[in-house]
Amino acid sequence: MYRIQVIIPTALYVQSTITYVHYVSPCSALSSLWHLKWRLITALVFLDIIYNVFFHPLRKIPGPFLARATVLWRLIRYFRGTWHDDVVNIHKQYGQVVRISPGEVSFTDEHAMKSIYGHGKHVVKSKFYDAFIVSNMTISFFATRDKNVHRFLRSRVASAYSMTSILTMEPLIQNVMDFNLQKLGELADEGNSFSIDKMVNYFTSDVVGQLAIGGMVGFLEQKKDVGGIIQSIHDGFYFMGNMGILPMQMFWINNPVSKWLTKHFGGDRLNAFDVFIDWLDSRVEERMTKGILPNQRRDLLQHFIEAKDPRGYPVGKKDVMIEGVNILAAGSDTTAIGILACLGYLLTDPRAKAKLIEEIDNAYKELGLEDEGREISYKEAEKLPYLSAVITESTRLHPSIQYQLPRIVPSEGAHVGEYFLPPGTTCGTSARAVNCSREIFGSDAEDFRPERWIPQSIEDKERIRKEKSLLMTFGMGSRSCIGKHLATVELYKYITQFFRYYDAEVANMAKPWRTNTQWFSLHQDFLVTITRRHH
């Protein structure tokens, strides 16, 4: 109502100005119209800010002034890659419920988390996810906001991502790990510092290549980003994740004019996702045309090709392509970030590293792995209590995706903390904000302390059970990460075998790495030197 009350006088003012313009000379009229345009824009922006701060239904919810006034506050922080720190800081300053833009609320309240993200809740995703709809492909189970569509699309591929399925592929993962250890040995022998963030990304990317398209892509072999595929994925998600919070985001992404402008003036970064898409398209086209070879194993790509649509008919290329994007684009970085989180916290905590190495060495000895000449399996590694604690703690502090995961408040509204959110409000949380919440994880929530996950009493067991149920590392509810089993197996195998065979030191202890959050919360400039451990 307030917007109507202020827009009508503004329109009358504009009309009177235009009437005046008719009485002046043509040149003067043109100039006056330009002035009028900017005066009108300025007036509307000013009035919108006044409305957002003083009259908006969310006006009583605390937050930075600029965040309450305009979307620019968060947009700037998304684009500069600092949201991982910003979101934690605003919750420390303003509490568990914070207004992060005029129409959106961030929360870390545990009851609201279960209410908004829990199974069976009548809460849908916001239009933010429309930005993840890839041109010339069917919608993915991640991007769709329709719960029935999501249920069908996810169930169609769920068996391929189950722990049972992943464990049948463990020998293939071990093959890539063996090759990774060989390449790390070459770097150890050279004696120079290198970017462990890149090598880990090469490993996880070759793993999904091995599982999805029948073989490693060649990142580890060449120790480089072959064809710029990895950078293409990073840039694509940077674009989608940031465009998603813009007003009318699909106008900017999908209309022909914006596409033409992006293609011709957007630069390499805004057009980079095409590199990955073209690479994937050629592999999908070849497989769908030629079929699987007699001596070729049935990989995930074949599973996707043999899937059915809702009517029971074979899927088309667009369906196969989007599943390829899910596993090859989203399935490598998320795991790499988890591995790097473990490496980062261990290499900057000598006590924790020494304790873990002792546990790993004892396990190899007790299991007789040296005598058998084999590597530790996931099932064996997951039984190591300190290793499990390190992985849980590291990924708690540095989840792979730290942007907001927005939802729309249903028709009955929702209570979030002490506030009532009206229907249609956008609300959500960041995995890092929740995982670092002092109200949930205690006063040392931002400290790396693996011991918090090792129970010493019955009370500890109950606390750990509750805290694990609130972890947002892999999301929550029916929309939780479908690839968490694959990520978990890779994490256990990589960390165990890396520290079994190598020791490592950070090149710059004052600033071990740089975090750049651009949808994926990436480690960058993580330089280390490694040496072989002799047994």
Q: Are 139 and 133 in contact (CB under 8 A)?
A: yes
Please report how the helices 83-94 and 72-80 are oriented relative to each other, as an axis angle in degrees rounded to 10. 140
Per the annotation, does 481 bind a ligand? yes
Alpha carbon 266 to its chain's center: 23
Cβ neighbours around 55 below 10 Å, total: 13
Comparing CA positions, the residue from 186, 188, 193, 197 lying closest to residue 221 is 186
Angle at 116 between CA 2 and CA 143, to 5 degrees: 90
Q: Where are the beta strands (DSSP E) in 199-357?
A: none
Phi and psi for 176 in degrees, rounded to 5? -70, -40
User: Sheet containing 124-125: which strands, arranged edge to edge?
Assistant: 97-101, 104-107, 426-428, 407-408, 124-125
Phi and psi for 522 in degrees, rounded to 5? -85, 140
DSSP characters over 396-416: HHS-SB-SB--EE--TT-EEE
Angle at 331 between CA 285 and CA 188, to 5 degrees: 110
Put residue 352 in one of left, alpha, beta given phi > 0 → left and psi -120 to 50 → alpha: alpha
Contacts of residue 356, defined as CB under 8 A and 6 or more positions apart, other chains included, come to: 346, 386, 387, 390, 495, 499
What number of residues does the chain have? 535
The DSSP bridge partners found for residue 403 are: none
CA–CA distances in Å: residue 86 to residues 64, 90, 404, 443, 475: 11, 6, 12, 19, 20
Comparing CA positions, the residue from 102, 46, 108 lying closest to residue 75 is 102
The three state secondary structure string of 441-500 is: HCCCCCCCCHHHHCCCCHHHHHHHHHHHHHCCCCCCHHHCCCCHHHHHHHHHHHHHHHHH
Comparing CA positions, the residue from 223, 173, 205, 221 lying closest to residue 280 is 205
Q: Are 305 and 320 in contact (CB under 8 A)?
A: yes
Q: Are 131 and 243 in contact (CB under 8 A)?
A: yes
| Annotated binding-site residue numbers | 481
| Annotated binding-site residue numbers for heme | 481
